[in-house]
A and B are shown apart, each in its own frame.
Chain A
């Protein structure tokens, strides 16, 4: 009798707590029930604690009783180019499997969920440190003999079960779809055997539901992925935007107008457009100048205007206490929270705001002169006087307290923060305009620096500090720098500013441009020297 030359191998890559072990057990049970010799092994160890973990299964696709006294030798470790089915519960882990050579065009069916569970390095980045999913998806399509990719986490949630059940369904479905695909030694795991395996474990009902849903999807060979698209803009742009600005900029500018009208009022919004107008004008000049030569890459489609429009809107709509109070007391917000925390209809939700306002926040909304002296006093006496506040905005009193702050909106224009913000913005815009006339790429780099100013308290202070530092040194200083070189310098230092909170990388990159580093900041308090006995 012709016996298969090798076992059928399945490698499962999962994250701690996702039930990868249960999945492996199900597969083993199903194979055993069908009389196939099977072995599974795993590497739990540290992976139990949020790391990545793998389970490896080998099944000999021939009934035990046909083998007589012979028994197959199963390997305990997977080897590159020797995996029939590679399963990954998350997209990056699928990528890792490819990186390790476990996905081969000759053999491997790749079954992977397309959702991402971000690594700590991706999450802790000060800007956007996320890996580009497209690279992984492309890799999957290039490297796998057959790629079965869809958002299994979503399917698990919608069928009220865990991802392992959905993955099992995908496997069973794929094997049916691929029957004969692997030629001799293909694995005929019957749907029934799989479902029986699940049936013997707890929570079977939900698991079976997820299994079935995924099985169907896999059998027809699912091949899409669900991206969550940013909110579509279907609004109609206002007359002024429509008439004065190029179509490419409409969406961004209209967002800005809406934001600022909502933030303050129509006048504030038109101040915004006035400012963008000056940018547009200088971009026109810049283009005219560059017209001889073609436009430098990256500045097409009036990007300078729309990108400046983006950051200007965010910077003009800075988050002061008034804004925070306003946004936290809106109708839409309550609904959003209920949805976010998955409160069922009829379940009351008590919302407690976790706040720690200090002198800084109060000074910011006081009339400039008053605010300045308060802030000055606080600095001299090294007091921040921040107090932890837990405010229940779902109660009438708490809501009133919060809402009353929002009612200060009309006073904002005279507030310290407003008075301090506007000149800085003007300075930044002026720098952009000047640059735009000689080199659009440089202007765009300066505009992008707007990204640095964000957050509250220390985060905001740090961000604004870096922003000003770059303006002082690379934008307005260093006359000897040529436009292109300056552009590179600005980009580098901007990225450096987002590399570490302490600003070491930024100072390093400035140093490379021959700019003396700032003296180190003094610590608010210093630990006592160890008393010598």
Chain B
């Protein structure tokens, strides 16, 4: 695991009246314990990976409370686990990233929502939208609407987030409906504090098991029950939820400080947008540091369902309101218009007319939109000129910078880590294409998706996690030569085995599957998978991908160590050229370097301390032999293979240079040979804490060699910088 939470989990033990200082997603976990959950699960993925990591580190606390913890095989598995709350009074939570995770989970979610729940269900959604997102930009809101799942979007401060988790379970139970808690990226990673309560052990748990199985056809998703369930959603669950939301005041109204202005205009925000809105008002001089604003603000901590009475109440008498709703389609804004029309209120709804329809609502964006709203509505007591000036002043530096730099600065795209075992595979693929002509590559989700970025630009399509091979099934037959699919071992276990491999074998697909087996779901923070090399006591060891492939009937199978570029290249070529027309699988294996370094660094450090002999390997470039063409960089892209100004006054181009980050994986050397680049690369093995023999040998060699070496005048030294 990329990060350990051994210290942080202590926070989960805090009791009544103590103060929690920590990360948002950890606070959610604590709130869950305070709400007395019976089971927790999920699938890792930014921004909620930390929750899975925390659960892994908090096993003892979980066991003490009898909570069942499971790292599910996929989001679908996680959502399906919630079935436990359909017939039984068990509170449960699962987490995954959205939109993609919700997509995968949607089958189970629809069934769950239709059947309805007895025990409270809170699904913690990491809304991976906007800056720092790694996925397609869509809203989870649509899923909440189509399946009728309540959607909580709390103000992003810990006390409110924690309250909404606790209330979420109650809401779920009173309306027998699953609840989604939506947290945006920054809210997941926000550090703050809140007053804790004691953890609660659930009535039923691993420690205190259920005694009787419940049968109720009404909860089975099969007609005629499904017809009744749909009606029940509308006639019973919906009103129950609205009543609870009103009574518990889950939504908040912050009255404006200026009664006059407040009577003319107001602001309605998704809870998650509250802070950025207040900040924009502060910057325009319309609010103080504590959020006391001139205009009233209606905060939707529950964005689905809306409460028409509350909306009407807030809007009544106002000329206009500004709806601040991130993302598209503008579900809430449209709903507002409907509500006001039905209530026959003439209040004008602004929103996507003054704010962009698509994209993240950052401070900059909201500020501009807010200004536009104020200009068009001009509430009394708001100095529009002052607003305009403020905006001008705030945005001036950006314009100035653009003018100073001219062209936009080079982007810093994500790439593969130093010594990453996946990079050599891409090098081999690039070289193979150079020799044999190019071929279609179906990509997949994982670190290896970075292959589509420079320097490789490999991968023509990406369709979803574990779907690489499936997405290749219509492409393969359409091409004269064979196409290649890249899939990570994470994707393989997620669903690549079934929808990809099994399907291709069954349909006799004549494709090539390159499985990047680095042992973990590295992109999400190196969490374990069934085939991870090291498993803790609670997981089954040695679930081998190779055995699985053989057992589903893969006949053409090769295992290649990723760092052997030439061998990989030859293997790929033979897969391209074999007469065998079934699925050809190459397992490209080598452990994720991040994880490997994390494991061996402390070992090496202690060995060195103990005075043991340790050989450190790294690579280097003879800069007087490098001619500055940088082919090596174009074929490797390793962060530690960089460039620097040549110390040779004759050379104008910068020369290649291996910096101290080098972990000695050897790729640059392999590339130099596989691509027949240049003789500039050398491998250096530094013998630390050398023994007597090392020293003698070294001395003798140095002696003899020194004697053979030509005397070097300073002229020579200079000419060979």
Interface residues of A (CB under 8 A from B): 3-7, 15-17, 24-25, 28, 32, 39-53, 56, 60, 70-82, 92-93, 95-96, 98-106, 108, 117-128, 130-131, 135-136, 138-139, 142-143, 228, 230-231, 233, 235, 251-252, 255-256, 258-259, 261-263, 310, 313-314, 319, 324, 327-333, 337, 340-344, 346-356, 358, 384, 386, 388, 390, 394-396, 399-400, 403, 451, 454-459, 463, 501, 523-531, 533
Task: Annotate B641-673 by CB proximity to A: 1 below 8 A, 0 otherwise.
Answer: 111111111111110000010000000010011
Q: 10 closest Cβ contacts across the A-B interface?
A: A79-B363, A101-B398, A81-B394, A43-B132, A348-B698, A454-B627, A51-B414, A45-B132, A75-B279, A73-B291
Contact, CB under 8 Å: B631 / A459: yes
A32 to B192, alpha carbons, bound, how many Å?
A: 10
Contact, CB under 8 Å: B628 / A127: yes
Contact, CB under 8 Å: B409 / A101: no
Contact, CB under 8 Å: A92 / B409: yes
For A390, the chain B residues whose CB sits under 8 A away are 683
Segment at the A interface, from B209-217, B235-243, B433-441 = B433-441
Contact flag A139-B191 (CB < 8 Å), given A77-B186, A255-B650, A528-B576: no
Max chain B Cβ within 10 angstroms of own Cβ: one of A118, A329, A348: A348
Q: Could you list 18 further interchain pairs (A-B, Cβ under 8 angstroms) beyond the known A49-B416, A98-B397, A331-B706?
A: A28-B191, A51-B415, A95-B409, A96-B412, A103-B401, A104-B396, A120-B637, A231-B649, A233-B649, A235-B718, A255-B650, A350-B684, A354-B681, A456-B676, A457-B676, A530-B581, A531-B579, A533-B510
Task: Annotate B173-199 by CB proximity to A: 1 below 8 A, 0 otherwise.
Answer: 000000000000111011110000000
Segment at the A interface, from B220-228, B282-290, B497-505 = B282-290
Task: Annotate B538-563 by CB proximity to A: 1 below 8 A, 0 otherwise.
Answer: 00000000000000000000000000
Contact, CB under 8 Å: A135 / B405: yes
Contact, CB under 8 Å: B417 / A143: no
Contact, CB under 8 Å: B698 / A341: no
Contact, CB under 8 Å: B414 / A46: yes
Contact, CB under 8 Å: A459 / B190: no
B373 to chain A, nearest CB (A): 17
Contact flag A93-B190 (CB < 8 Å), given A337-B620, A533-B581: no
Instruction: Tell me, yes or no, whether B334 is within 8 Å of chain A by CB.
Output: no
For B633, the chain A residues whose CB sits under 8 A away are 120, 123-124
A92 to B676, alpha carbons, bound, how many Å?
A: 33
B109 to chain A, nearest CB (A): 25
Contact, CB under 8 Å: A41 / B190: yes
For B454, the chain A residues whose CB sits under 8 A away are 120-121, 124
Instruction: Tell me, yes or no, whether B116 is within 8 Å of chain A by CB.
Output: no
For B712, the chain A residues whose CB sits under 8 A away are 330-332
A458 to B700, alpha carbons, bound, how many Å?
A: 39
Contact, CB under 8 Å: B290 / A70: yes
Max chain B Cβ within 10 angstroms of own Cβ: one of A74, A454, A527: A527
For A400, the chain B residues whose CB sits under 8 A away are 708
For A348, the chain B residues whose CB sits under 8 A away are 686-687, 690, 694-695, 697-698
Q: Would you give 16 A-B contacts (Cβ < 8 Å), ordered by A?
A: A48-B525, A51-B413, A72-B289, A76-B186, A76-B275, A95-B405, A117-B642, A119-B413, A259-B719, A327-B625, A329-B709, A348-B698, A354-B672, A523-B437, A531-B579, A531-B581
Contact, CB under 8 Å: A333 / B622: yes
A342 to B417, alpha carbons, bound, how many Å?
A: 22
For A333, the chain B residues whose CB sits under 8 A away are 622, 720
A108 to B677, alpha carbons, bound, how many Å?
A: 47
A81 to B398, alpha carbons, bound, how many Å?
A: 8
Contact flag A81-B396 (CB < 8 Å), given A231-B647, A527-B481: yes
In the complex, chain B residues 385-408 whose Cβ is within 8 Å of any chain A Cβ: 393-398, 400-402, 404-405, 408
Contact flag A524-B678 (CB < 8 Å), given A349-B685, A354-B673: no
Contact, CB under 8 Å: B481 / A130: no
For A388, the chain B residues whose CB sits under 8 A away are 566, 673
In the complex, chain B residues 470-517 whose Cβ is within 8 Å of any chain A Cβ: 476, 479-482, 508, 510
Contact, CB under 8 Å: B652 / A455: no
A332 to B411, alpha carbons, bound, how many Å?
A: 39
Contact, CB under 8 Å: B687 / A347: yes
Contact, CB under 8 Å: A458 / B410: no
A313 to B581, alpha carbons, bound, how many Å?
A: 56
Contact flag A352-B683 (CB < 8 Å), given A119-B412, A525-B435: yes
Contact, CB under 8 Å: B404 / A135: yes
Contact, CB under 8 Å: B629 / A459: yes
B312 to chain A, nearest CB (A): 27
A155 to chain B, nearest CB (A): 15
Max chain A Cβ within 10 angstroms of own Cβ: one of B128, B398, B408, B672: B398
B566 to chain A, nearest CB (A): 8
A38 to B7, alpha carbons, bound, how many Å?
A: 21
B526 to chain A, nearest CB (A): 10
For B447, the chain A residues whose CB sits under 8 A away are 49
Contact, CB under 8 Å: A126 / B630: yes
A333 to B417, alpha carbons, bound, how many Å?
A: 30
Nearest B-chain residue to A233, judged by Cβ: B649
Contact, CB under 8 Å: A73 / B275: yes
A503 to B436, alpha carbons, bound, how many Å?
A: 18
Contact, CB under 8 Å: A358 / B577: no
Contact, CB under 8 Å: A139 / B650: no
Contact, CB under 8 Å: B190 / A76: yes
For B367, the chain A residues whose CB sits under 8 A away are 79
Task: Annotate B413-432 by CB proximity to A: 1 below 8 A, 0 otherwise.
Answer: 11111000000000000000
A16 to B687, alpha carbons, bound, how many Å?
A: 30
A125 to B454, alpha carbons, bound, how many Å?
A: 11
Contact, CB under 8 Å: A457 / B394: no
Contact, CB under 8 Å: B417 / A50: yes
For B701, the chain A residues whose CB sits under 8 A away are 394-396
For A75, the chain B residues whose CB sits under 8 A away are 275-276, 278-279, 363
Contact, CB under 8 Å: B652 / A32: no
Nearest A-chain residue to B566, judged by Cβ: A388
B387 to chain A, nearest CB (A): 14
Task: Annotate B144-160 by CB proximity to A: 1 below 8 A, 0 otherwise.
Answer: 00000000000011000
Contact, CB under 8 Å: A80 / B397: yes
Contact flag A81-B715 (CB < 8 Å), given A49-B415, A399-B705: no
Contact, CB under 8 Å: A358 / B436: no
A53 to B134, alpha carbons, bound, how many Å?
A: 13
Q: Which of A15, A52, A530 contacts B480 (CB 8 A)?
A: A530
For A458, the chain B residues whose CB sits under 8 A away are 675-676
Instruction: Tell me, yes or no, whether B21 is within 8 Å of chain A by CB.
Output: yes
Nearest B-chain residue to A328, judged by Cβ: B622
B552 to chain A, nearest CB (A): 20
B713 to chain A, nearest CB (A): 9
Instruction: Tell me, yes or no, whether B131 is within 8 Å of chain A by CB.
Output: yes
A394 to B628, alpha carbons, bound, how many Å?
A: 26
A202 to B2, alpha carbons, bound, how many Å?
A: 17
Contact, CB under 8 Å: B409 / A99: yes
Contact, CB under 8 Å: B412 / A52: yes
A338 to B271, alpha carbons, bound, how many Å?
A: 59
For B627, the chain A residues whose CB sits under 8 A away are 319, 454-456, 459
Contact, CB under 8 Å: B709 / A41: no
B195 to chain A, nearest CB (A): 12
B126 to chain A, nearest CB (A): 10
A70 to B288, alpha carbons, bound, how many Å?
A: 11
Contact, CB under 8 Å: A341 / B618: yes
Instruction: Tell me, yes or no, whether B688 is within 8 Å of chain A by CB.
Output: yes
Contact flag A98-B401 (CB < 8 Å), given A71-B290, A333-B720: yes
Contact, CB under 8 Å: A76 / B397: no
For A44, the chain B residues whose CB sits under 8 A away are 46, 132, 189
Q: Which of B2, B677, B708 contacts A48 (CB 8 A)?
A: B2
Contact, CB under 8 Å: B134 / A46: yes
For A258, the chain B residues whose CB sits under 8 A away are 715, 718-719
A230 to B647, alpha carbons, bound, how many Å?
A: 5
For B208, the chain A residues whose CB sits under 8 A away are none
Contact, CB under 8 Å: B190 / A50: no
Instruction: Tell me, yes or no, whether B314 is within 8 Å of chain A by CB.
Output: no
